[in-house]
Structure 1
């Protein structure tokens, strides 16, 4: 369409810049999809490290069994309707389709998160009520021979 008729140089510049933005968005999406495909085929090997969670969230660490730990992250805000909760981890799924063109993301972030957690032998779930959304990851605990995770390595703060 750009070459369909003669245009002013400034118009060509704007069209090329617009195309560049779209190509960058598509490049990120393809990169995310490649990462997911590698995870799904066990080609990504996780590296364990302590995690500092200090922004605008409430973080809770529990040990429901001797060999499992649950990390729950609650963020205040609008509830997500129940009909969307089971699909949040699907590739390209968005609760609000009107944000499709306004957002930089491609709807792959939670699918990537799920792949990371599953590659560690865990599972993830989401719950939404009382004006908060809570994601809970159930993960295997480290073996005794590994460096233990201490409560000091995890912090939490509540947003107002």
Structure 2
């Protein structure tokens, strides 16, 4: 069931799917067993679409948060496990979001790590539920 306005962005569907898939895979990987990842979608008054991905788990020191989107960066190298990837997932997400005219940030909030994507809303194709 869906409630509220349908919001659209203009962009490459496959690239956006890859960005969201990478972000969700990362959130799931670092969420403790028995806990859940939360995803929300909203539009603000500045014609931006906001996608929030929240995952509970160990907090990341604030000095590391902006660097999470750097290629090969790991806030805690000891967390890397065999088969965990090359450290490119969040860098790819940022590159795709930047290419679409958006931004992505990470912050610690209420025991969760919150990734917030802001993308320009496609006002020409906006539709609303009745």
TM-score (norm 1): 0.54
- Do the aligned partners of residues 62 and 101 (structure 1) sit closer, same or farther apart at CA in structure 2, a change above 3 Å counting? closer
Secondary structure of the 1:88 match is helix
Runs of 4+ in 1 over 4 A off after TM superposition: 48-51
* Higher CA-based Rg: 1
Gaps in structure 1 of 5+ consecutive residues? 1-44, 152-160
Q: CA deviation at 1:131?
A: 2.0
Cα deviations by residue, 1:94-139 (Å, 9 ceiling, x for unpaired): 0111244634311110000001111111000001133210000000
Matched, 1:139 2:119: yes
Count of aligned residue pairs for this structure pair: 104
1:46–1:119 Cα contact (<8 Å) kept: no
For the aligned residues, what is the CA RMSD? 3.0
Q: Distance in 1 between matches of 2:120 and 2:38?
A: 21
1:127 to 2:107 alignment: yes
